[in-house]
Amino acid sequence: MAEILNSNLEHPIEILKKEHELIIGFSDQLKEIAEKIQLLHDFNAAESLIQQLQTIAGNFKDSASHYMREENVLFPTLDKMGIKEPPKIMWMEHDRIREIEKNLYSLIDNCDNMPFRRFSEQLRETALNLAEMLAMHFHKENNILFTMAEKVIGEGEMAEIKKQFDKMGYCSFTPVSSAKKGGDMKDGDESISVEGGMIGFETGTVSFKQLDAIIKTLPVEITFIDEQDIVRYFSVPKDPLFARTKAILGLKVQNCHPQKSVHLVNKIIEEFRTGKRDVAEFYIPFNNKFVHIRYFAVRDSENKYLGCMEVTQDIAEIKKIEGEKRLL
């Protein structure tokens, strides 16, 4: 695990810049170890260095929080300020960084299944590719994107960004208070705007507070996009699968996805809007879970399109169910 510095940063941009510095340090360590392994002849001689590689890989995995905070908080805020293209380019570069890191993890995990010389060559190439990509990307963010952000984002908005950063949590190596490391994605009852208000439905009546609690108790995550493709609402369950922050509210849903998947988002919404489709579903393995993602067209009683609802659920345990269960 990387050494955690004692100084506590408070400004979101300074936090991101410090994380850049630390991640570059991990990249330098990776290159150094890759060069040392190049000089050896077999896995036995490289055993201690491969153990160090696993530690460095752990730090890179931990750095995922850095990119998530940018994508879910900073980028949407800049989009609202009219700065649209630079965040899109940065997000695409994040995806490229993730691809290289994924290759690194696979190489380390499967090193026993390949000749040592091939492993050492691929490791060196991967380390150089990652170092080059990180240096280029962080230079752009530090000198262009963050400069733009500091010019257009006021103190109030920056304080809200810091609040959302704290909620999402930080990398283990980020020099912030340890109390904020893990984050807290749970919202309290302060989001309920009408105290004791009642909502009447065709099939019953509940208070705003009851309805909010019901939605949070559902074993699914819900996001609603209106008929103009604007993100209007998302639920906050006890253990969310994906990080979402209030910064996405009011944004076009297309600006909340990486560029490589926007065409698919547009296709689904267009088919919902025209009535060609009512449901679209996907399922992916994710962090030892099996996530079922469904999109539903939302229509009124006259079949007018009101928007799209995303429903996400971990179905790993459900997939294991067999037979029947009638008793507790």
Kindly report the CATH number assigned to the domain that includes residue 259: 3.30.450.20
Q: Which of 119, 153, 180 is the last residue of a domain?
A: 180
Q: Is residue 120 part of a domain?
A: yes
Same domain for 175 and 235: no
Looking at every residue in the chain, the average pLDDT score rounds to: 88
Same domain for 237 and 169: no
Q: Is residue 272 part of a domain?
A: yes
| pLDDT over 70, % of the chain | 91
Same domain for 252 and 170: no
Q: Is residue 194 part of a domain?
A: no
Q: Is residue 313 part of a domain?
A: yes
Kindly report the CATH number assigned to the domain that includes residue 132: 1.20.120.520
pLDDT at residue 161 greater than cutoff 90: yes
Same domain for 144 and 31: yes
What burial class does residue 247 get, using C-beta atoms within 10 Å of its C-beta: 0-12 exposed, 13-18 middle, 19+ buried? buried
- At residue 195, the pLDDT reads 38
Which residue segment(s) compose the domain that 112 sits in?
12-180
Same domain for 239 and 161: no
Q: Is residue 4 part of a domain?
A: no
Residue range 250-278, pLDDT digits in tens? 888 998 888 888 999 999 999 999 999 99
Q: Is residue 259 part of a domain?
A: yes
Both structure tokens of 32: 């150094």
Q: In sequence order, what are the residues at sequence separation of 6 or more whose Cβ sits closer than 8 angstroms to the Cβ of residue 245?
A: 72, 73, 76, 164, 167, 168
Q: Which of 119, 150, 180 is the last residue of a domain?
A: 180
Same domain for 227 and 157: no
Residue range 214-264, pLDDT digits in tens? 999 999 999 999 999 999 999 988 888 888 888 888 888 998 888 888 999
Q: Is residue 176 part of a domain?
A: yes
Read off the pLDDT band of 22 (50, 70, 90): very high
Same domain for 228 and 82: no
Read off the pLDDT band of 37 (50, 70, 90): very high
Same domain for 90 and 33: yes
Residue range 88-104, pLDDT digits in tens? 999 999 999 999 999 99
- At residue 74, the pLDDT reads 95
Q: Is residue 258 part of a domain?
A: yes
Same domain for 24 and 141: yes
Residue range 108-141, pLDDT digits in tens? 999 989 999 999 999 999 999 999 999 999 999 9
Q: Looking at the 3D structure of the chain, how many domains does it have?
A: 2
